[in-house]
Chain A
Amino acid sequence: MTILTVNGTLRESAAPPSTPLLEVLRNEFALTGSRFGCGEEQCGACLVLIDGTPTQSCGREIGTLQGRAVTTIEGLQDHPIIAALIAEQAGQCGYCLSGMAVAAAALLARNATPTRAEIATALDPQLCRCGAHPRILRAVERAARMIAGGEMPR
């Protein structure tokens, strides 16, 4: 049994300790916003925050997360990046977007005023196949402006 905090709520997972966090989130906790893209930590579609650190949840075993705090896209619904992604219409199929939002939230937490190049570097591990990149970059800039303007992430 692994006890951890997910989006601020204490949760217990009965999954075997070697189960990837992604599968626990999706199948046991019904949090399907974190997406399966490769299962090999190469695409970023399953990105979550573990104690604030962006982590590909497909490669992290649930047994290692006793007492840790996980934030998924479902826990970022009030973060300005969500409104910013919509305002910039920064998505096509949308499959990569929850990972993008998590990566952006992690960046903005450590650097509230990133340059375009810093955003690109932070998002480089995240793959998008539709070519929404220019809009996603603009959305992160917009979210940074929103935060500077007082719309703080919870």
Chain B
Amino acid sequence: MTDLPKSLADNPRLDRWLRFAEGRVHVSVGKVEIGQGISTALAQIAAEELDVSLGRLAWRAGDTQLAPDEGSTSSSLSIEIGGASLRLVCAETRALFLAEAARLLNAAAEELEVEDGAILHAGTPTGHDYWSLVPRVSLARDATGTAAPKPRAQHRLVGTSTPRRDLPGKLTGGAFVHDMVLPGMLHARVLRQPRPGATLAAVNEAALARHGARLVRSGDFAAILAPTEATLRAAVEAARPRWDNADTPTPAMSEAAWLATQPADIRTRGSEAAPPPGRSHAATYSRPYIAHASLGPSCAVAHEHNGILEVWTHVQGVYPFRINAAQTLQRAPETIVVRHAHGPGCYGHNGADDAALDAAIIATLVPGTPVRVLWSRADEFAFAPAGTAMQTALRAVLDAEGMPADLTATITSGVHVNRAPGRLLASRTLPNAQPLPPPAESSDPYPGTGARNIVPYYDIPTWRYEHRLVAGTPIRTSALRGLGAVVNVFALECFLDELADLVGQDPAAYRLRLLSDPRARFLVERAAAMSNWSARGPAGTGIGLGMGFARYKNKSGYACVVVEVEADTEIRLRHIWCTADAGLAINPDGVRAQLEGGIIQAASMALKEQLRIDETGTATRSWADYPILRFSEIPPIDIELANTPDEPSLGMGECTMGPTAAAIANAAAHALGVRVRDMPLSRERIVATAAS
């Protein structure tokens, strides 16, 4: 038995993944489509190993009844772990069928091949295929992981830019959970507890009745049900809930600087020796609270019937959600079926889980009636988990040659992973809600949450860091694309530019002096060449060129980003270049799409985004309050992928986030001659920095 990848170790039965019926291969996986193209890339892997056409595949992803438990679709692991598992499943299944065919044909398995599911012997049809052999080959067995996947030279689908299988369906109706209609379905909305601990004193129930709506209530959980969206909206407006005991945050809490004043759980890692004496430099960087800001508000449909609670949702993990819902509803997980349905891109832990739990609770209060919950845009901004504010302070001691000999980091952050049972919004309003311990998460660097990517990928002899985890964030936080790596890479890469500047060296050359991994060096050199880095001018001209590099989690996808900006009191993007190393790219165009998406989201974050807090909680309630990058602000983006197909595939969804934010800040510093160290690099911050 080899070491199986986690998804396969957790779900070893082959028939949990594959079933052959009626000329089709029914593939079931736990990694779900969230716009990242995973259902296409995984299909390429399956069709490749089974030697069937893509058209043969029937796909099911994320279903607690019908698909394996692969946890959450997160952390850029769906190819690295989910893909590796599916590859072994398909390779082993193919080998089992070939062994049976060989026995029937009295031939050696090596003489057989598969063509679109049909088994050939010396290039001639044998009359056998996967489907005809189904009665003879049982997949009710555990994978051994011993069947060798195809060598790369034989790949015909893997490594090609196969078009997204789900895209045509999204250019018309019916594609999303938002479009689901069940007979007799009611529309529902939860009256949102404005602040944790607030108690519901009164609701104008008489007004609800006038709109044909009604209230269901359990403790401080209250929801309105109505026959149409229009009546629901009118009823919600008329409900006028009165909440007592809401705390009152302050606008100052909007900033990462406030977080740094709060009590923290402090963990340290790395060198226990004190930093050596010598010339040093220190700087502090930050990002405020960020919204996932999915384009569609969160939505779910739920139906309690015959003792089963069925939930359709766009959560990243149907099984983790089921555990969560089961605990909150105090019922056996086996009585809950959770099925993934398409939703808007989530970029991490957005409101999907909360909306699903809303629908689940309401459905149990009106058994027999299907309910649909669709959040308002205001609720999505105000109540979906935010990406936490974070501050990373760095201090380096330089050696005689001006290179960093020692690095000390202090990270102050709220939690980045906040999905455990009891922590979803509605959970804390139910009568059975239990007090929760402070959120806990690891301070280890790998895979890392707040400390992700704080250990330099550069050759810096000694390092240490302190992770200050603050439980008392003013708003609920959870995973957002890149977690702590975004701010840590932003800080480290800005800091390297500051060090290079301090000792009068070119930032790209400075990085190369510190990088020994040849794959990393190649990307930096190539990005410099693409962007004509050698012609980079002096600082302070209003035009700037900046670079950022990272290897995500120090073990996953590599990206180097160079940005050219024009800056005065605001920053305009002129051009972005990106080099990246994905190892074996299952779908090169899909990799490029993920890189582009990460670059644009990070650019938007770096330049514009901040959730505002006031006395009511999250003051940001609409797109007008939360501008994101628009078409006319997006520059040409040139991307090159390293040609490393013999290296293992690496997840690419998050690797550009930190490098892009840093490259923009470095370019802005180059253009302006002064450095803004706090995201977003807004007009206000630029003016304030220039004045100080």
Contact = CB atoms under 8 A, between A and B. Distances in A.
Asked if A and B bind, the verdict is yes
Interface of A: 15-16, 18-20, 23, 26-27, 30-40, 42-43, 45, 73-74, 77, 82, 85-86, 89, 91-98, 101, 117, 119-121, 123-124, 126-137
Contacts of A132: 593, 596-597
Nearest to B162: A89
Nearest to B180: A32
A51 to B, nearest CB: 22
Contact of B376 (A27, A39, A42): A39
A132 B36 CA distance: 11
13 contacts: A19-B230, A32-B179, A38-B622, A40-B622, A43-B623, A89-B161, A91-B170, A95-B345, A120-B634, A127-B295, A129-B294, A135-B593, A135-B596
Contacts of B624: 40, 42
Among A23, A33, A89, A129, the most chain B Cβ lie within 10 Å of the Cβ of A129
A15 B179 CA distance: 19
Contacts of A27: 228-229
Given A27-B229, A86-B168, A89-B163, A32 B596 contact: no
A140 to B, nearest CB: 10
A77 B437 CA distance: 53
Contacts of B34: 93
A16, A93, A95, A130 interface centre (most CB from chain B within 10 Å): A93
B374 interface: yes
Nearest to A82: B171
Interface string B265-301: 0000000000000000000000000000111110000
A149 to B, nearest CB: 21
Nearest to B587: A89
A92 B345 CA distance: 8
B488 to A, nearest CB: 22
Q: How large is the interface on B (under 10, 10 to 19, 20 to 34, 35 or more residues)?
A: 35 or more
Given A45-B295, A93-B344, A31 B631 contact: no
Contacts of A30: 173, 181
Interface string B171-209: 111111011010000000000000000000000000000
Given A39-B376, A74-B173, A91 B167 contact: yes
Interface in B643-674: none
Nearest to A129: B295
A36 B229 CA distance: 11
A127 B147 CA distance: 47
Contacts of A74: 172-173
B629 to A, nearest CB: 8
Contacts of B167: 85-86, 89, 91, 94
B326 to A, nearest CB: 28
B173 A38 contact: no
A96 B596 contact: no
B164 A89 contact: yes
Nearest to A22: B229
Given A32-B173, A131-B598, A133-B631, A23 B296 contact: no
A129 B345 contact: yes
A19 B171 CA distance: 25
Given A124-B632, A135-B593, A94 B171 contact: yes
Residue among B166, B176, B374 facing the most chain A CB atoms (10 A cut-off): B176
Contacts of A131: 596-601
B377 interface: yes
Contact of B35 (A16, A34, A40, A92): A92
B637 interface: yes
Given A33-B172, A43-B623, A45-B295, 9 more contacts: A32-B176, A33-B171, A39-B376, A73-B172, A86-B167, A93-B343, A130-B295, A130-B601, A131-B599
A26 B30 CA distance: 30
A133 B631 CA distance: 6
A37 B161 CA distance: 30
Contact of B171 (A31, A86, A119): A86
B37 interface: yes
Contact of A40 (B176, B296, B599, B623): B623
A23 B230 contact: yes
Could you say which of B161, B166, B632 has the most chain A C-beta atoms within 10 Å of its C-beta? B632
Contacts of B36: 92
Interface string B564-604: 00000000000000000000000001000100111111000
A37 B630 CA distance: 16
Interface string B601-645: 100000000000000000000111000111110101100000000
Nearest to B624: A42
B604 to A, nearest CB: 8
Contacts of A121: 631-632
Given A89-B164, A89-B167, A130-B345, A31 B173 contact: yes
Contact of B295 (A37, A124, A137): A37
A92 B597 contact: yes
B347 interface: yes
Nearest to B598: A131
Nearest to B597: A131
B508 to A, nearest CB: 25
A39 B377 contact: yes
B183 to A, nearest CB: 13
Contacts of B229: 23, 27
Contact of A35 (B166, B176, B597, B599): B176
Contacts of A82: 171
Residue from A85, A96, A133 with most neighbouring chain B CB atoms (10 Å):
A133
A137 B630 CA distance: 12
B195 to A, nearest CB: 24
A121 B631 CA distance: 7
A42 B295 contact: no
A121 to B, nearest CB: 6
Given A15-B230, A91-B170, A120-B631, A45 B345 contact: no
A73 B173 contact: yes
Contacts of B600: 131, 133
A16, A27, A37 — most chain B CB neighbours (10 Å): A37
Contacts of B170: 91, 93-95, 97
B62 to A, nearest CB: 15
Contacts of B631: 119-121, 123-124, 126, 133, 136-137
Given A94-B170, A127-B628, A129-B293, A38 B344 contact: no
Given A126-B631, A132-B593, A77 B175 contact: no
A15 B229 CA distance: 11
Contact of B623 (A35, A42, A133): A42
A18 B467 CA distance: 54
A136 to B, nearest CB: 8
A35 B596 CA distance: 24
Given A82-B171, A132-B597, A95 B295 contact: yes
